Structure 1
Amino acid sequence: MSAASEAIARDGAEASLEAIARSAGVGSATLHRHFPSRWSLMEAVFAERIGCLFDRATELGAAPDALDGLTTWLREVAVYSTTTRGLAASLLNAPAEESETCQSHLVAAGEPLRRRAVDAGAVRRDVTTADLLTLVNAISLAAQQSGPQEAERLVTMALEGVLARSG
């Protein structure tokens, strides 16, 4: 895992699996036995970071303002994804057949926040958590060169489109 984490931090989601295996002192077959796909390896590398975002969503579920809790969490997801090379690409491009994806964990984490904001009348009912995460991760990918502050700014601006409008 250490070799994979280093390679992904340096080279992003397209890090060479063969180079990771060599760096770990194992053969490619051993790597593939433990991680049958690139995405399963990426998920293992990102599991801790995704766990932190899950915990943060739980904390923000108790925020006094439902919309503030949701938007704070989405901005934090954007910052995490922007500063963690390969995470945004992994979240946006994971194959559908991967059953335990980082994306599904984040959807589960964010759904109570989204539902609470919808119930408060702050977010449109037709907006899904997956929609919000796709938006945030696309922004994160676009902002990787300009940094987390730009990602936060763009997320804040984009979220104006998901707010419920009166009348």
Structure 2
Amino acid sequence: MRADAKKNRSQILTVARDVVAEHGADASMRDIARRAGVGLATLLRHFPTREALFEALLCTHLDALTQKADELETSTSADQALLSWFRELVAFTQGYRGVVAMMAAAHTNPDSALYASCAAVHEAGARLLLRAQGEGTARADMNGDDLFALITALGWAVDQPSFASRADRLVDLVTSAILTSRPGSDAKKTMG
């Protein structure tokens, strides 16, 4: 790819992130092109459909979330790793209003360009959950599919204007249902 084409593609993605953050999945392709300082034809050469643009935006972030899970897996306690990663994934879904449905659909559609990235995120979350379960700090009766479904449901809920202001509270409620008391914590001592 020529240097000017790379620059245009990068500029389009940068602007698209901002426009999608403002307007959600219904962001205007024409508005993105105008704000990026390129013609609509240039945008469409790089991203022939709205889905192609969203795939480029989401794959980058989903891949970063997978990498984050890998880092957390070796750098912090199992329950804190799961909690940190869960919060980052929910924050990601908040930053891209309307994309939770795209992620949920891609998760089960091998033909989707998002499939590989969604599958990697799903697997990363499942690994973090298994590690926490192994240390006794997460519910033993759930699996990676349950975790992904909870993240998807929470992402959808905080995407709604009536729940957006409660996002942190909802994350706390859901994660407290996933994570159990740490071995030796005061909460466990007072219960036993």
Q: What is the TM-score with the length of structure 2 in the denominator?
A: 0.65
Deviations 1:123-163 (A, max 9, x none): 3344232321331232233223354x732321221233334
Find the counterpart in structure 1 of residue 71 from structure 2: 59
User: Among 93, 116, 123, which residue is 1:108 paired with?
Assistant: 123
Alpha-carbon distance, 1:54 to partner: 2.2
Partner of 1:98: 112
Cα gap change, 1:153 to 1:12, in 2 (>3 Å): same
Say if 2:25 and 2:96, in contact at 8 Å, map to a contact too: no
Shift of 1:93: 3.9
**Which residue does 2:139 correspond to in 1?**
124
1:19-64 CA deviation, whole Å, 9 max, x = no partner? 3686442449x83x75566444212012332233223212211244
2:184 equivalent in structure 1: none
- How many aligned residue pairs are there? 163
**Higher relative contact order (Cα pairs below 8 Å, separated by 6+ residues):** 1
Point out the structure with max Rg over C-alpha. 2
Instruction: Find 2:39's aligned residue among 25, 34, 39.
Output: 25
* 8 A Cα contact 2:126 2:147, kept in partner: no
Structure 2 unaligned residues grouped into runs of 5+: 1-8, 182-187
- Unpaired segments of 5 or more residues in structure 1? none
1:4-15 equivalence runs, <5 A: 4-15=16-27
Using the TM superposition, name which of 130-139 and 113-122 deviates more: 130-139
CA shift in 2, pair 1:36/1:93, >3 Å: farther
The two structures, once aligned, show a CA RMSD in angstroms of 3.4
Provide the secondary structure at the position in 2 that maps to 1:62. helix
Q: What SS does the corresponding residue of 1:61 show, helix, strand or coil? A: helix
Partner of 2:152: 137
Contact 1:13 1:87 in 2 (8 A): yes
SS in 1 for 2:74: coil
Contact 1:75-1:156 within 8 A present in 2 as well: no
Output the amino acid matched with 1:118. Answer: Q
In 2, the alpha carbon distance for the partners of 1:126 and 1:99 equals: 32
